[in-house]
Amino acid sequence: MAVPGWLSPGVRLAAIARSARLSGSAATRQAPGAEPVGQAALYVHWPYCQKRCSYCNFNKYIPQGLDEASMRSCLTQEAQTLIRLSQVQRISSVFFGGGTPSLASPLTIAAVLETVSRCAHLAADAEITLEANPTSAGASQLAAFRALGINRLSIGIQSLDDAELGLLGRNHMAAEALGTLEEAKKLFSGRTSIDLIFGLPGQSVASWTRRLEELIQLCDDHVSLYQLTLERGTSLFKQVQQGFLPMPEQEVVAEMYEAAREMLRAADFRQYEVSNFARNGALSAHNLSYWQGSQYIGIGPGAHGRFVPRGSGDSLREARIQTLEPDSWMKEVLNFGHGTRKRTALSQLEVLEEVLVLGLRTDVGITHQGAQVLLERFGCAGLSATDPPHTAPAVLGGQSSPRDLNPDSSSKQEATACSRSPEWTGALSGHLKILHPI
């Protein structure tokens, strides 16, 4: 686990202040105790793709006779049901993921946003992200999405090498990706993110860094970097398993990772979460809320949520999963107003465990005081653990040494923070035990 460093509170505040784009939600996160109870992030799952990618094991389907009007009405119906159930007054951010949500008609996206702002307060500057694939995001569509309220775009570029794209089963070419990126940067300036995958069969450190270098020149202020994970059941998994494709050695992939971190850092990117890099404060507010343990509502087939269903009188946070298969999901939404298939009430310990696991993915990590705050506020919405008061004397697992976004001063204390040695984890769980008398 590599968490690049620990921000001193002052520096962090400065960083947040600089990122005015994080607006309302950022302001509330500064003072944990003051975070409004009635707030949640919203995830919308669009389950359709044009083509199956060889590495992807998401809940996605190739549409056959898709009735988008029904889909649209079900999404809005479920959004309304679940927001009411959660009794949140405010939706802090919206994320359209998939599948390929940029394949949905702008009408559908608009209808969902419209419902959300009818059921709860959706600030005018709230982050609203759409995932887009380079092919389906034609320029006119992108403009249409922006016009209806999308203010952040996440493009699945994955690679700039046509052969690699073929291997991944993507249905776009590198040139198309660059075109889309160019277009997006115009429309969503400073709020365009790209996804990249490395550690591909046949990839070398040199080929990876060359492509990355190219992309750093062209990209906007946010990059998500993923090492290829071979997922069971995907065609890529099978091909590697059968020995048709050679996976690069662990050492090689580790070198790719180190090289990428170094290059992104040199280009002023901050690794604010293990897989996510941002500069100029362009952090994803929506994703950050997952890692901070805030509550979120998931709608659409197979979407996950974590929120307290206050509407039904419950006070425990629940892990909720919507029905996977779109047709069954739609049926359930029509019959019951929502397609929640599984609800699991989370114990205090489980919530804390999640906060721990997720918080440690961020560069700010998790703090002693943060955990206390969590406990005090347990059961309430918005279990933010990351932002301790200014006076926080120490954070777990390392010295809270000053670090700003200047790459020069950050290198030294990385050594203390970046290896997740057993002792370190042990110390954290020890703290959890002390803090949490179960």
Contact segment (CB under 8 A) with another protein among 47-55, 101-109, 174-182, 245-253 equals 245-253
- Site membership for another protein, residue 325 (CB under 8 A): no
- Site membership for another protein, residue 254 (CB under 8 A): yes
In the complex with another protein, which residue's Cβ is closer, 206 or 357?
Answer: 357
Contact segment (CB under 8 A) with another protein among 21-29, 79-87, 120-128, 253-261 equals 253-261
Q: Nearest approach, Cβ of 157 to another protein (angstroms)?
A: 15
Q: Count interface residues toward another protein (CB under 8 A).
A: 43
- Site membership for another protein, residue 216 (CB under 8 A): no
In the complex with another protein, which residue's Cβ is closer, 28 or 129?
Answer: 129
Please give, one letter per residue, the 3-state secondary structure of the chain.
Answer: CCCCCCCCHHHHHHHHHHCHHHHHHHHHHHCHHHCCCCEEEEEEEECECCCCCCCCCCCCECCCCCCHHHHHHHHHHHHHHHHHHHCCCEEEEEEEEECCHHHCCHHHHHHHHHHHHHHCEEEEEEEEEEEECCCCCCHHHHHHHHHHCCCEEEEEEECCCHHHHHHCCCCCCHHHHHHHHHHHHHHCCCCEEEEEEECCCCCCHHHHHHHHHHHHHHCCCEEEEEECCCCCCCHHHHHHHCCCCCCCCHHHHHHHHHHHHHHHHHCCCEEEECCEEECCCCCCHHHHHHHCCCCEEEECCCCEEEECCHHHCCCCCEEEEECCCHHHHHHHHHHHCCCEEEEEECCHHHHHHHHHHHHCCECCCCCHHHHHHHHHCCCCCCCCCCCCCCCCCCECCECCCCCCCCHHHHHHHHHHHCCCCHHHHHHHHHHHHHHCCC
In the complex with another protein, which residue's Cβ is closer, 229 or 312?
Answer: 229
Binding mask 373-392 for another protein (x = CB under 8 A): --------------------
149 to 188, contacts with another protein by CB under 8 A?
A: none
Q: Nearest approach, Cβ of 353 to another protein (angstroms)?
A: 7
| The binder of another protein chosen from 224, 234, 340, 367 (CB under 8 A) | 224
| The binder of another protein chosen from 140, 189, 204, 229 (CB under 8 A) | 229
| The binder of another protein chosen from 24, 149, 305, 370 (CB under 8 A) | 305
- Site membership for another protein, residue 237 (CB under 8 A): no
- Site membership for another protein, residue 247 (CB under 8 A): no
Binding mask 351-370 for another protein (x = CB under 8 A): --xx--xx--x---------
| The binder of another protein chosen from 52, 304, 341, 368 (CB under 8 A) | 304
Contact positions toward another protein, by CB under 8 A? 1-2, 43, 45, 58-59, 97, 198-199, 224-227, 229, 250-251, 253-254, 257, 274-275, 287, 290-291, 296, 298, 302-306, 319, 321, 350, 353-354, 357-358, 361, 419-422
